[in-house]
């Protein structure tokens, strides 16, 4: 570029100015908000509150999930916990007895048909 070309450019052809008037703080006069790069700080408290609420909600959900798992564990059948011990079963078996004296009385009181055919699943009569 020669001298006349430089004279046509604003600010004497200083690179990076592109014809905008520069102000002492580094922003141009035409810029709508010189603090635009710091505007994220405007809502910082709301953002922090929102993040805090999300963390509390996440903690609440984790506690609820853990309570659900604990309740589920209580409802499940666990043989060691829910079945009687061998000693208890032996006591129950010792209490059982078979007697032939009541068999005839039961047959007399029965309302079942003694001459009925034996039931076989899947067979139609």
Q: In the block, which residue shows the tokens 């810029």?
A: 31
At 67, list the tokens: 């309570």
C-alpha to C-alpha distance for 91 and 84, rounded to whole angstroms: 11
pLDDT tens digits for range 57-112: 999 999 999 999 888 877 777 777 778 888 888 888 887 776 666 767 777 788 88
Contact 10, 17 (CB under 8 A): yes
Q: Could you count the other beta carbons within 10 Å of the beta carbon of residue 34?
A: 13
pLDDT tens digits for range 111-122: 888 788 888 888
Residue 36 to residues 31, 32, 41, Cα–Cα distance (Å): 9, 8, 10
Which residues are within 8 A (CB) of 12 and not within 5 positions of it... i.e. 6 or more apart?
6
The pTM of the full predicted model, rounded to 2 decimals, is 0.34
C-alpha to C-alpha distance for 86 and 90, rounded to whole angstroms: 6
């Amino acid at each position: 570029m020669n001298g006349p070309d430089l004279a046509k450019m604003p600010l004497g052809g200083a690179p990076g100015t592109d014809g905008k008037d520069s102000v002492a703080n580094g922003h141009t006069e035409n810029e709508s908000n010189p603090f635009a790069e710091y505007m994220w700080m405007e809502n910082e408290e709301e953002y922090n509150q929102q993040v805090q609420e999300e963390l509390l909600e996440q903690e609440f959900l984790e506690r609820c999930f853990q309570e659900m798992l604990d309740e589920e564990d209580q409802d499940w059948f666990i043989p060691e916990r829910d079945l009687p011990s061998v000693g208890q079963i032996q006591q129950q078996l010792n209490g059982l007895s078979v007697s032939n004296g009541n068999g005839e009385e039961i047959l007399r009181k029965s309302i079942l048909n003694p001459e009925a055919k034996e039931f076989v699943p899947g067979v139609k009569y």
